[in-house]
Every structure is written in structure tokens, then in C-alpha cells.
Chains A and B, each alone.
Chain A
Amino acid sequence: MTALPGPLDDATIEAALARRGAGNADAALLSDVLAAARATPQVRGWWPPLRGSRQAWALLAAALLLAAAVVVGVGASRTAPPPAPEPSAPAIVVPSASAAPATSPTVVATPSAAASTSAECPPDPTGVTTGDAMPPTRSEPMALMGDGLDLGVYLTAADVWTVRTGSATRIASLGATDAGLARIDDLSQDGRFAVAELGQTINASPLVACNNLYVIGTDGTSATTRITRFGAHEHASDARFSPDGRFLAFRFDDLSGHTPVVGLIDLIGDPTPRTIECGETSMFDFAWARDGHRLAMVCGGRLDVVSAEAGLVESSTVLPFHGEIFMELAWSDAETTVLVTALDNGIGVSDAPVRVRSVASGAVSNPVPVSPALTYAGPGSATAPDGHAVAVVAFPRDKTIGWHVIDTSTGAAQAVAGPGCSDLAWSADGRSVLFVEGGPATTVPALTVVDLATAARQFLGSVPADYRGGVFRGR
């Protein structure tokens, strides 16, 4: 048996990391770096510095106003115009390497003259195929019993599958997609489409990857649409359909040193991807309001509600977080957002009690402690369809990590899934949750439903050996 270290203290971690990071770069590495730099042109342009700066936008607006005043002839006889009002933030801008994608989800991801890709990314970085173009699969389809599942879309090593009951149907083959870069993010509310992140490493480099968002028809007959055209340093993830299906919001990371923002695509109107920024702070999480027109965003120490169409802030609430850490964001009703937070007890202190706050009409409630007490374990959440509860990953008193359902109004908590469980989803009525059950006590990973009122468990079916994650929706 491997001997374990003593309590995990700073000295142990530092010794381990010093061993991992031992060694120096040699002259060849520096030479390679400089040679590569000499062969690489620098990116120049006037607009990128504006992306994250409200002040810069204000200056730009002032300059435009001044120019307009000069054009209409009022500037010559008057004193300088008053300073332009600071534009509402977040501002919406167009990502650098994006171009207008196809206008409807009917185009297979093949090279397109309309696609204006970064020089680093080929026109079709993933080679996704559908229908008769799909090569034979080597995966076994998931087989589900009963009617506990409304819809599921999942990944195996080389394919995308949809399943309701009985045997799953393959709806896309990933082709050249790197399985490590593939992920199903969300299902549209009508169940017709799934949105997936698919990508491919470029030029055999382990570091340069082109990943994009794809909308995939769940019926197995619709084609797949690649809806973004990002460059190798731009990444879209955590995409979520608006409840009305019009918009797709996602986390957008520019890996050349910028902070994360929300990306937005109008699937019905102008499909050009835009970003909704938080000004100078990072975006931590976002959640669609039920009307499908507003997004709540946690931006640094404030909660902004933004109009998806106009990109303007409808309300902005300062969060009174003093020694409190943000975990998850949800909407509990049409006008109230819920923040699941944890008390911050400092680095290395493992008891950070989970609590719930609500934000409505600019007012933040006092924190409601979760009972029985839970402590923070890690990211991951799923909100009930009616917003009455949020499932999070947390530790109860016995330190057995798992999913816990928290009532957002009372703070009452209930353990629903243990270690190794993943891909948790809610039923339409919010009375049960389903998840892929794994962990040390599970011999065969399986899709399982738990009734929240009775705690009764129902086995729906085993997941394939090469299962790589999915999104499910209970009936």
C-alpha cells in the first residue's frame, strides 16, 4: 500500500510541487520560442483594448458625439459639448474572429466560402457528419427501460446519441473531433436541438485547438450547424439555450489574456456572435430568466440583469459579500434571482457553510443557512424547472461528497446522489432528479431516477463503456 503523507499541510504541498516543477528550461527551448516568435506576426488593431474598458467606450462615445456636433455645425459656435454619458455596461461587441454563420440550423459543418476563420483554424476543424454520411460506429447504444426519461443526448468516444426510451439513436459522428474537447452543453426547451462544444487540435500541437459550438438536431434527421467561427485562442463553453429557444448564451474565453465574458447568439435574428461584458471584472456565472429575454450575470461583486436583445443593463445590484463566496446562480421566479453562496472561512479551512440569498428589485436578502448544514465541495449545479430548488455538489457532516437539493426559499437540503455521480438533471415537474450513478459503490454506471418525496430509486439503464457525458431531462 502506498504510504500517505501526514495531514496535508503547506510544507507537503510545496515539496510535492517543487518536485513536479523541478528543472530548468534549456537553451533549445528559448531558441525554439524565439524562432517561433520570429515566424509569427503580431496582432494589431485599434479595437481590442476597448473590449473590456468602460472608460474607453465613454471616450469613444464622446469622440463620436463631438464629431457629430462638428458635422451638423453646432460645434463651431458653442463651447465644447458636455461629456458623453457613460454607456451602459455590459457593452455588446463582436468577437474578433467571428463571422456570420448560417442563418438556420440546416447546414452541415463543411468548408464554406462564407466562413471567415482565423488563419490558425481550418474551415472544418471537426469533420462532423450526420445521416448516411456517418461511418460505422463501434459504440454500443444505451438502452433505457421505463418512461422516466423525457430526452437525453450524450457522447461516446466518436458519436453523439439521442435517447428517450428503448435503444438510443446515433445522430452525429464526431469525425476529426478530439474526444477530449467534446461536450454536450444543453437541450432546447422543445427538445428539438442540442448544443455541443466540438473541437480539434491543430497542426499536431497539443496546445492549439479550434473549438466551436454546434447545434445538433435531436431527431437524427436534422443536419448539424456550426454556429461559431472562433480562432484558436477563443473558446466557447457552457452554452445554454434561452427558454424560448431564440438565443444561445455561452461562456466566452479569449485565451490571450482577457477575462471571461458571456457570448450571445441570436438563433432567429442576426446570428453574429456578440459578447456581453462585465466591464473590468470577470463574469462568473449567468442564468436565463424565464421570459428568455433577460440574462442575470454575476459580474465581480455585482449582479446585473441584461436585456439579451439590446445588450443594456436593466438592473445592477451590488452584492454585499463580505467573507462570502459565490457558488451558483438561478432564477426562482420571474423577478427573483437566487444566489447560492458559502461562508468563506479562509484558505485551507474546509468548513465553508452553504447558504442562500435572493435578489429582487435591487435588494439582497439576508443569507438563509442551509439545513442540515452543507459545506462547499466544488462547481456544478442544476436548477429545478420552477426555480424552487437548486442541486449542488457539497459535503454533508459525514464528508461524503455528493449532490444535494436545496430549497431556495427555506434552505432545506436533501442528499440525492453520492460520490461519482454526474450529469444530474430534473424532471419537468421538479419532483425527481436523474443522474448517471457511478463511484466506488457502483459496479456498472447507470442512469438512475430518485423521487425526492419518497427517496425511491429507479434504475433506467446502463450507460455504455465509452460514455463521455451527456445532458438529460426527466419526464
Chain B
Amino acid sequence: MPTVVTGAVVVGRGEPVLIERARAGDHDAFEALIAPRIDTLFRTARAIVGNEADARDATQDACVSAWKHLPRLRDLDKFDAWLGRVLVNSCRMQLRRQRRVREIAIPADFDSAGPRETGPESVDGIDAVVRAFDRLDADARALLVLHHLRHEPLAGIASNLGIPVGTVKWRLHAARRALERALEGERS
């Protein structure tokens, strides 16, 4: 059975008040907002950037950025979507330091690969997917994490990334395709 990591944080009744207070500069309110979310933010960042140290930096950068720009948030109901977008951008910044274009060599016999022997229960097989993920660019990683780890609906991802739902669909399709290609690269 796949492990399901709950990503959504349910906005409580008092949260709009906390957000409003944090917007006004109340650090205690900001702490009350961030504390229940930081695990989710950290796990998301770790899944995208791939290691703990970078995930800590990405999480911290995102939270500080959120604090800094909170007065610019127009719609309080979209705090989580906005925070998610800030986090994804922080992860993207982290990955921008690496080579910007990753070439993934595709074997000519892409389609003629023989039958595969192991299933998703295989530790080695899942390890290969974990490694293949490192070959993806930041946007593809973010999309796959939001969809497959945080189990966010397409509309939520669209809100997170600031793009239409239709675009989320085709980018998810492209990201999954890229992951398949990267997985092939793990064979060599």
C-alpha cells in the first residue's frame, strides 16, 4: 500500500483572525499559523529538493518570505495556496543553482525494453524512482509532489502555482512523462 501523506491543513475558524493579525505584524499570530503547517511544508520541500539540509533552507526561506510579504496577500481564504506557492518558489530557487537544463538521454530502444521484473513493492524499484526524481526540473518535481504526495486536487495545485487547471493537467502529464524517461535513464 502506498504511504499517504496528508498535505492539506484545514483552516480553522479562527485562522482568518490569525492571518489578519499576522498581516498587521503580530509575530505570535504568525507563529500560531506556521507551527501546525511546518511539518507539511518541510516534507513537501524535502520531496522536491531531495535532501534534509536544502529542505530546511527552503522551508525557512519560504516562511520568512511569507511573513515579509503577508501584507500583500489580498484574499485571506487563499493563505494556504499562497504559502504553498511561496514554498514551491523557494524550492525552485534552490534548484536553480544547479545546472538549469538537464539533458536526459533516452535510449533509442525506449519502447523495446523487456518485461520488468519488479513491482512497486520492490525497494530497489522505488529507489530507482526516488533517484529518477532527481533528474527532473523544479517545476516537474513540484507538480508531482503536490499531486502524488500532498494529494491536492487539480484546482488546489492550480491555485498553488498560479496557473489554470488545464495547464496543470498537461504539465502533470509532461512531468510524469519526464519521470518515465528519467527512470529509463536509471537503467544505465
Contacts and interface: CB of A to CB of B under 8 A. Distances in A.
- A and B interact physically: yes
A181 B96 contact: yes
Contacts of A76: none
Contact of A49 (B74, B106, B126): B74
A43 B162 contact: no
Contacts of B180: 8, 350
Contacts of A10: 2, 148
Interface string A424-440: 00000000000000111
B16 interface: no
B138 to A, nearest CB: 12
A37 interface: yes
B153 interface: no
Interface string A232-251: 01000000000000000000
Contact of B176 (A8, A15, A36): A8
B43 A24 contact: yes
B13 interface: no
A178 B69 contact: no
Given A49-B72, A207-B57, A344-B173, A4 B148 contact: no
A25 B174 contact: no
Given A42-B68, A420-B103, A17 B73 contact: no
Contact of B167 (A37, A284, A378): A284
A387 B166 CA distance: 27
Nearest to A327: B170
Interface string B115-128: 01111101011111
A24 B42 contact: yes
Interface residues of B, number: 101
Dominant SS at the B interface?
A: helix
A348 B163 CA distance: 19
Contacts of B59: 25, 29, 33
Given A29-B38, A207-B61, A439-B103, A12 B120 contact: yes
Interface string A8-50: 1111111111111111110001101110111011111000110
Given A23-B46, A206-B54, 14 more contacts: A2-B127, A8-B180, A11-B1, A11-B2, A25-B41, A30-B34, A33-B63, A40-B67, A42-B71, A49-B72, A207-B61, A257-B162, A348-B172, A419-B108
Nearest 6 A-B pairs (CB), nearest first? A5-B125, A21-B47, A325-B170, A16-B129, A18-B3, A25-B42
Interface of B: 1-5, 23, 25, 27, 30-31, 34-35, 38-39, 41-44, 46-47, 50, 52, 54, 56-61, 63-65, 67-74, 82, 85-86, 89-90, 92-94, 96-101, 103-108, 110-111, 116-120, 122, 124-130, 133, 144-145, 147-149, 162-164, 166-167, 169-170, 172-174, 176-181, 183, 186-188
